[in-house]
């Protein structure tokens, strides 16, 4: 497959990451409004809700895992680069590829483990031990989706770095 064709595939994948990040933004907006309303109800009417804290905690997982691949794609993740300044472009490219391979490996293990845990949660009908009795399978599925996006984004970055011969901070 040519580098140009690969770039077109990854450009299409960028749209998926952008959609996931947009959904994460909507989730963040909901969490913010729900917590604001809960604080208002608690302090002005002494009537706190019973669900906001728990639901916000679960939605925070969606927020993190849906936005991570977009942050990687845009080069917004935290990087320690002070040592890289001492090396030339070729060495930096090799270090970028090696660190991306390690991160890809971590992401693949994360995908494997979260998939296993999610499957168990669905098959054994795990629920939260609270009044909401929330089904954990639907909560954990966010980790699987986010891990898939992360694996694909790392893979895309690595392929583009190798095929282009340039340093890439993002796809």
**Where do the structural domains in the chain lie, given as residue ranges?**
3-164
Helix, strand, coil distribution of the chain in percent, nearest 5: 80, 0, 20
pLDDT band at 163 (very low <50, low <70, confident <90, very high): confident
Lowest mean pLDDT among 22-36, 52-66, 87-101: 87-101
Q: What is the mean pLDDT of the chain?
A: 89
In this structure, are residues 115 and 151 in contact, taking their beta carbons and an 8 Å threshold? no
pTM: predicted TM-score of the whole model, two decimal places: 0.85
User: Where residue 7 falls among pLDDT bands split at 50, 70, 90?
Assistant: confident
Question: Per-residue confidence at 170, pLDDT binned at 50, 70, 90?
Answer: very low
Output the CA torsion 17→21→26→30 (10° steps).
130
Per-residue pLDDT reduced to its tens digit, 102-136 = 999 999 999 999 999 999 999 999 999 988 899 99
pLDDT of 2 above 70: no
Whether residue 98 is predicted with pLDDT greater than 50 in this model: the reply is: yes
């Amino acid at each position: 497959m040519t580098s140009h064709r690969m770039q077109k595939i990854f450009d299409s994948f960028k749209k998926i990451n952008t959609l996931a990040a947009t959904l994460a933004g909507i989730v963040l907006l909901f969490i913010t409004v729900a917590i604001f309303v809960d604080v208002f109800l608690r302090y002005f009417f002494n009537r706190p809700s019973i669900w906001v804290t728990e639901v916000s905690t679960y939605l925070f997982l969606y927020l993190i895992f849906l936005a991570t691949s977009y942050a990687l794609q845009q080069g917004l993740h935290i990087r320690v680069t002070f040592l890289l300044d001492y090396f030339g472009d070729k060495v930096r490219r090799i270090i970028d590829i090696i660190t991306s391979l390690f991160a890809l490996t971590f992401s693949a293990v994360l995908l494997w483990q979260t998939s296993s845990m999610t499957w168990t949660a669905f098959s054994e009908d795990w629920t939260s031990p609270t009044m909401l009795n929330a089904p954990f399978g639907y909560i954990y599925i966010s980790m699987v989706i986010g891990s898939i996006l992360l694996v694909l984004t790392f893979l895309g970055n690595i392929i583009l770095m190798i095929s282009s011969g340039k340093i890439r901070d993002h796809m």
